[in-house]
Amino acid sequence: MVKPKSFRPWNPEQTLLFPPSPVEWLPENHLVFFLLDLASELDLEAIYAVYRQKDPRGEKAYDPRMMVVLLLYAYCVGLPSSRKIENACWEDVAFRVLTGNQKPDHSRISDFRRRHLDALAGLFVQVLRLCQKAGLVSLGQVALDGTKIRANASKHKAMSHERMLKSERQLEAEMRALLRKAEIIDAQEDGQVGKGKRGNELPEELQRRSSRLEWIRKAKAELEAEAAAANTRQRQAEAEAAEQEAEAAEASGDEQHSKRAARRSRGARKRADDAQKLAFEKAEAAGPELSSVAAAETDPLAMPQRTLPTDAAGNPKPTAQRNHRCAEGFAYTDPDSHILKGADGWIQGYNAQAAVDGDHQVIVAIGVSNQPSYAVHLLPMLELIEANTGQLPDALIADAGYCSTANLEACEEKGLQAYISTSRQQHGQRPRPSRGRAPRDLDARGRMERKLRSKAGQAIYALRKTVVEPVFGQIKGARGLYRFRLRGLEKVNGEWALMATTHDILKLFRASAAAA
């Protein structure tokens, strides 16, 4: 007689379903244990300092180190949503082990991330230094590239300056018509119920139009202030260039040339001062909450800001846009974001930059801007690489988007071996190899073209596709960052830093697991 098939015992109501110690719930080489060990190596003083300044009475906060590890693990596994993190603290064994079976709700998680976003972004350099100590970064060959990521805003809600002016005039006319209508109705009611007696409140239609007009005027003022600030930066750069030219002309001894250069310098400085004055007036009119207008003197390590199209007076051209949401009233979702050309067409988003070391695909520098062009990011990213690692790479690889005469000459001045494509190539197509000696009269672009046509240059430039492009694929495809969740350039920079930090943590984790 054949015995019936037996199965393993199954009892969902068993009281001790898991081992008594949470440490035994996961494999000993799990990422959670690596992050718990890593947390002891991170300097979290900036976060703890905030809590020391608070009143010790009241509800106790969650341990900041636990919250940091919770966010790092969530970003490592592609779970940046605070609500999904909260659910995972109930349903996912790894999250329950990490938190010690504590279950912070999504508002506490979101508030912690928002309050300490700058400190969390600062962990990027700390983790990068640990990668350097582990021998994962050599800076022999660093590839630079960018990717366009959608903002937490819709491109269909971007309003141009021309449309703002048209809507403002239209709403003003509608409000005047409604006010005349209200006066007629008031006169009729005075005849019916008597003058001085209470009538109806302001018509709802008039309230709605008034609110919309207020938001449009606010948006127009902000757009004009942003354009004035961009014009100021341009005028300041022109004035500095004219002053340097005047100094060189004076040193040359040519009196006539020196006088002309000095006159141009004075004119350029006056235009810069006038633009600065206009920028301050526009900024004051826009109000204190304007986030995207910066002073002409910017942080040298900051990414470039978008340059709005302006006329000679510094006013925005009709095509200049600003993002908004129109529902019950006009509320701006992410005014810092910009219309950009992405791989899938035009998007409302940001330009996220990353410099990646060729040894183990460790990110060594990051930045986010609302500037569509890639070329303007090359020099700031070089500054960030040097600031983060203490040195420039032996070789920098970048595609044609970063090519400009100024960039090529700057790399030569720094003594940096750059491999920057001078033109876009079709897939699978390689430039013809160079032969013979290089002509002496070649400019920076000609020298770069000749370098990339050599066999060594082609071999090094080909590394770009295997170094930096897979990193964006991992961040977008594997970890789901197709759209930023936070709004505003400052917060988006923090979110991008968290993604880059956890990318490097995963590289460090896998390297340590391979060495074990």
Structural domain boundaries in the chain: 22-121, 137-153+336-515, 156-190+202-331
266 vs 117, higher pLDDT: 117
Q: What is the mean pLDDT of residues 92-111?
A: 93
Alpha helices in 40-91 (DSSP H): 45-52, 64-76, 82-91
324 vs 509, higher pLDDT: 509
CB atoms within 10 A of CB 176: 10
Alpha-carbon gap, residue 305 to 373, rounded angstroms? 10
Q: Which residues pair with 398 in a beta bridge?
A: 144, 420
Between 45-49, 137-141, 275-279, the lowest mean confidence (pLDDT) is in: 275-279
343 vs 513, higher pLDDT: 513
State the distance between the two ends of the chain, measured CA to CA, in whole angstroms: 52
> Within 13 Å and on the Cβ side, how many CA atoms surround 69?
25
Asked whether residue 415 carries a pLDDT value surpassing 50, the answer given is yes
Asked whether residue 290 carries a pLDDT value surpassing 60, the answer given is no
Q: What is the pLDDT of residues 65-88, one digit of tens each?
A: 999 999 999 999 999 999 999 999
Task: Give the model's pLDDT for residue 21.
Answer: 80
Asked whether residue 502 carries a pLDDT value surpassing 90, the answer given is yes
Task: Give the model's pLDDT for residue 469.
Answer: 92
Alpha-carbon gap, residue 344 to 355, rounded angstroms? 23
pLDDT band at 498 (very low <50, low <70, confident <90, very high): very high
Alpha-carbon gap, residue 484 to 496, rounded angstroms? 8
Task: Give the model's pLDDT for residue 294.
Answer: 44
Q: What is the pLDDT of residues 15-49, one digit of tens each?
A: 777 777 878 889 989 999 999 999 989 999 999 99
Instruction: List, in order, residues 6 or more apart from 470 with CB less than 8 Å away.
Output: 361
pLDDT band at 330 (very low <50, low <70, confident <90, very high): very low
Q: What is the mean pLDDT of residues 339-361?
A: 89
Instruction: List, in order, residues 6 or more apart from 216 with CB less than 8 Å away.
Output: 159, 164, 167, 168, 171, 330
Task: Give the model's pLDDT for residue 292.
Answer: 43
Q: What is the mean pLDDT of residues 475-492?
A: 89
CB atoms within 10 A of CB 478: 12
The token pair at 307 is 């340059």
Alpha-carbon gap, residue 157 to 145, rounded angstroms? 29
Q: What is the mean pLDDT of residues 288-314?
A: 55
Q: Which residues pair with 397 in a beta bridge?
A: 143, 419
Output the CA–CA distances (angstroms, integers) from residue 457 to 133, 142, 421, in the order listed.
30, 14, 10
Task: Give the model's pLDDT for residue 344.
Answer: 76
Asked whether residue 117 carries a pLDDT value surpassing 50, the answer given is yes
Per cent of the chain over pLDDT 90 is 41
Domain 137-153+336-515: what homologous superfamily? Answer: Ribonuclease H-like superfamily/Ribonuclease H (3.30.420.10)
207 vs 101, higher pLDDT: 101
Q: What is the mean pLDDT of residues 333-356?
A: 85
Alpha-carbon gap, residue 294 to 317, rounded angstroms? 19
Task: Give the model's pLDDT for residue 293.
Answer: 44
Q: What is the mean pLDDT of residues 403-412?
A: 93
The token pair at 466 is 């295997």
Alpha-carbon gap, residue 307 to 230, rounded angstroms? 6
Task: Give the model's pLDDT for residue 309.
Answer: 57
The token pair at 119 is 């400190």
Asked whether residue 470 carries a pLDDT value surpassing 60, the answer given is yes
Alpha-carbon gap, residue 149 to 101, rounded angstroms? 35
Mean pLDDT over all residues of the chain?
80
> Is 48:477 a contact under the CB 8 Å cutoff?
no
277 vs 475, higher pLDDT: 475
> Is 382:392 a contact under the CB 8 Å cutoff?
yes
338 vs 383, higher pLDDT: 383
11 vs 95, higher pLDDT: 95
Asked whether residue 190 carries a pLDDT value surpassing 90, the answer given is no
pLDDT band at 434 (very low <50, low <70, confident <90, very high): low
The token pair at 58 is 């009241």
> Is 10:91 a contact under the CB 8 Å cutoff?
no
Phi and psi (nearest 5°) for 59?
-65, 135
Task: Give the model's pLDDT for residue 157.
Answer: 54
Task: Give the model's pLDDT for residue 264.
Answer: 84
Q: What is the mean pLDDT of residues 418-443?
A: 71
The token pair at 113 is 């991330």
Asked whether residue 373 carries a pLDDT value surpassing 50, the answer given is yes
Q: Residues 293, 295, 300, 305: what is their CA dihedral angle, to the nearest 10 degrees?
A: 30
Length of the chain as a residue count: 516
Task: Give the model's pLDDT for residue 472.
Answer: 94
Asked whether residue 271 carries a pLDDT value surpassing 70, the answer given is yes
Task: Give the model's pLDDT for residue 296.
Answer: 36
pLDDT band at 268 (very low <50, low <70, confident <90, very high): confident
Phi and psi (nearest 5°) for 436?
75, 180
Instruction: List, in order, residues 6 or more apart from 19 with CB less than 8 Å away.
Output: 25
Instruction: List, in order, residues 6 or more apart from 220 with CB less than 8 Å away.
Output: 161, 164, 165, 168
Task: Give the model's pLDDT for residue 19.
Answer: 74
pLDDT band at 55 (very low <50, low <70, confident <90, very high): confident
309 vs 145, higher pLDDT: 145
